[in-house]
Amino acid sequence: MKLYSLVVGTAMTLSGAAFAQTSTADHSAHHPPAASAAAAATATSEGEVRKVDKEQGKVTLKHGPIANLDMPGMTMIFKVADPKMLDNLKPGDKVKFAASNKDGAITVTAIEVAR
Protein backbone atom coordinates (compact mmCIF):
# COMPACT_ATOMS: atom_id res chain seq x y z
CA MET A 1 0.00 0.00 0.00
CA LYS A 2 2.91 2.34 0.75
CA LEU A 3 4.29 1.75 -2.73
CA TYR A 4 0.92 2.58 -4.31
CA SER A 5 0.68 5.83 -2.31
CA LEU A 6 4.23 6.76 -3.30
CA VAL A 7 3.56 6.13 -7.01
CA VAL A 8 0.27 8.06 -7.01
CA GLY A 9 1.79 10.95 -5.04
CA THR A 10 4.77 11.18 -7.39
CA ALA A 11 2.53 11.06 -10.46
CA MET A 12 0.32 13.83 -9.10
CA THR A 13 3.33 16.00 -8.25
CA LEU A 14 4.89 15.60 -11.68
CA SER A 15 1.64 16.13 -13.56
CA GLY A 16 1.05 19.40 -11.67
CA ALA A 17 4.43 20.69 -12.79
CA ALA A 18 3.62 19.82 -16.40
CA PHE A 19 0.34 21.76 -16.29
CA ALA A 20 2.03 24.75 -14.65
CA GLN A 21 4.30 25.31 -17.65
CA THR A 22 3.29 28.13 -19.96
CA SER A 23 1.89 27.31 -23.33
CA THR A 24 4.08 27.84 -26.35
CA ALA A 25 1.13 28.07 -28.72
CA ASP A 26 1.01 31.30 -30.72
CA HIS A 27 -2.31 33.07 -30.32
CA SER A 28 -1.36 36.26 -32.14
CA ALA A 29 -3.99 35.58 -34.80
CA HIS A 30 -6.66 36.16 -32.17
CA HIS A 31 -5.69 39.80 -31.63
CA PRO A 32 -5.00 42.51 -34.18
CA PRO A 33 -1.57 44.11 -33.92
CA ALA A 34 -1.37 47.11 -31.61
CA ALA A 35 -1.06 50.53 -33.19
CA SER A 36 2.49 51.78 -33.26
CA ALA A 37 3.48 54.69 -31.05
CA ALA A 38 4.09 56.83 -34.15
CA ALA A 39 0.62 56.11 -35.50
CA ALA A 40 -0.95 56.91 -32.14
CA ALA A 41 0.99 60.16 -31.90
CA THR A 42 -0.21 61.33 -35.31
CA ALA A 43 -3.83 60.19 -34.96
CA THR A 44 -6.13 63.20 -35.16
CA SER A 45 -9.72 63.75 -34.18
CA GLU A 46 -12.23 66.42 -35.11
CA GLY A 47 -14.09 68.64 -32.73
CA GLU A 48 -15.63 72.01 -31.99
CA VAL A 49 -14.30 74.48 -29.45
CA ARG A 50 -16.84 75.21 -26.71
CA LYS A 51 -14.65 77.20 -24.31
CA VAL A 52 -11.06 78.44 -24.08
CA ASP A 53 -9.48 78.95 -20.64
CA LYS A 54 -6.05 80.51 -21.20
CA GLU A 55 -5.42 81.06 -17.48
CA GLN A 56 -5.79 77.34 -16.70
CA GLY A 57 -4.30 76.14 -20.01
CA LYS A 58 -7.46 74.20 -20.87
CA VAL A 59 -9.92 73.93 -23.74
CA THR A 60 -13.42 72.45 -23.78
CA LEU A 61 -14.08 70.46 -26.94
CA LYS A 62 -17.12 68.68 -28.30
CA HIS A 63 -15.28 65.93 -30.14
CA GLY A 64 -15.78 62.79 -32.16
CA PRO A 65 -14.12 59.49 -31.26
CA ILE A 66 -10.47 59.60 -30.24
CA ALA A 67 -9.18 56.30 -31.63
CA ASN A 68 -5.76 56.19 -29.97
CA LEU A 69 -7.41 56.62 -26.54
CA ASP A 70 -10.34 54.32 -27.34
CA MET A 71 -12.66 57.18 -26.34
CA PRO A 72 -16.12 57.79 -27.81
CA GLY A 73 -17.30 61.22 -28.87
CA MET A 74 -18.34 63.58 -26.05
CA THR A 75 -17.80 67.07 -24.68
CA MET A 76 -14.95 67.40 -22.21
CA ILE A 77 -12.26 69.69 -20.86
CA PHE A 78 -8.69 68.99 -21.98
CA LYS A 79 -5.36 70.26 -20.70
CA VAL A 80 -3.13 71.53 -23.48
CA ALA A 81 0.55 70.64 -23.76
CA ASP A 82 1.44 74.28 -24.55
CA PRO A 83 -0.85 77.16 -23.53
CA LYS A 84 0.23 79.06 -26.68
CA MET A 85 -1.92 76.60 -28.66
CA LEU A 86 -4.97 78.43 -27.27
CA ASP A 87 -4.02 81.84 -28.73
CA ASN A 88 -5.81 81.33 -32.07
CA LEU A 89 -8.85 79.43 -30.78
CA LYS A 90 -12.31 80.76 -30.03
CA PRO A 91 -15.66 79.14 -29.21
CA GLY A 92 -17.35 77.76 -32.31
CA ASP A 93 -14.12 76.97 -34.18
CA LYS A 94 -14.06 73.58 -35.90
CA VAL A 95 -10.72 71.96 -35.10
CA LYS A 96 -8.53 68.95 -35.79
CA PHE A 97 -6.51 67.86 -32.79
CA ALA A 98 -4.33 65.13 -31.36
CA ALA A 99 -4.55 64.04 -27.74
CA SER A 100 -2.71 61.56 -25.57
CA ASN A 101 -2.60 60.39 -21.97
CA LYS A 102 0.20 62.29 -20.24
CA ASP A 103 0.76 61.43 -16.59
CA GLY A 104 -2.85 60.31 -16.19
CA ALA A 105 -4.40 63.40 -17.80
CA ILE A 106 -5.83 63.47 -21.31
CA THR A 107 -3.83 66.27 -22.95
CA VAL A 108 -4.16 67.98 -26.33
CA THR A 109 -0.74 67.75 -27.94
CA ALA A 110 -1.62 69.51 -31.22
CA ILE A 111 -4.61 71.52 -32.40
CA GLU A 112 -5.44 73.58 -35.47
CA VAL A 113 -8.51 75.32 -36.81
CA ALA A 114 -9.99 73.24 -39.64
CA ARG A 115 -10.20 75.05 -42.97
Residue 41 — very low, low, confident or very high, per pLDDT cuts 50/70/90?
low
Residue 115 is predicted with a pLDDT of 82
Q: Where are the domains of the chain?
A: 41-113
Residue 21 is predicted with a pLDDT of 58
Terminal-residue alpha carbon distance, the chain: 87
SS3 string, the chain, reads CHHHHHHHHHHHHHHHHHHHCCCCCCCHHHCCCCCCHHHHHHCCEEEEEEEEECCCCEEEEEECCEHHHCECCEEEEEEECCHHHHCCCCCCCEEEEEEEEECCEEEEEEEEECC
Residue 43 is predicted with a pLDDT of 82
CATH assignment, 41-113: 2.40.50.320
pLDDT digit string, tens, across residues 60-87: 999 999 999 999 999 999 999 999 999 9
pTM (2 d.p.): 0.64
pLDDT digit string, tens, across residues 19-35: 565 555 555 555 555 55
Residue 8 — very low, low, confident or very high, per pLDDT cuts 50/70/90?
low
pLDDT digit string, tens, across residues 87-112: 999 999 999 999 999 988 999 999 99
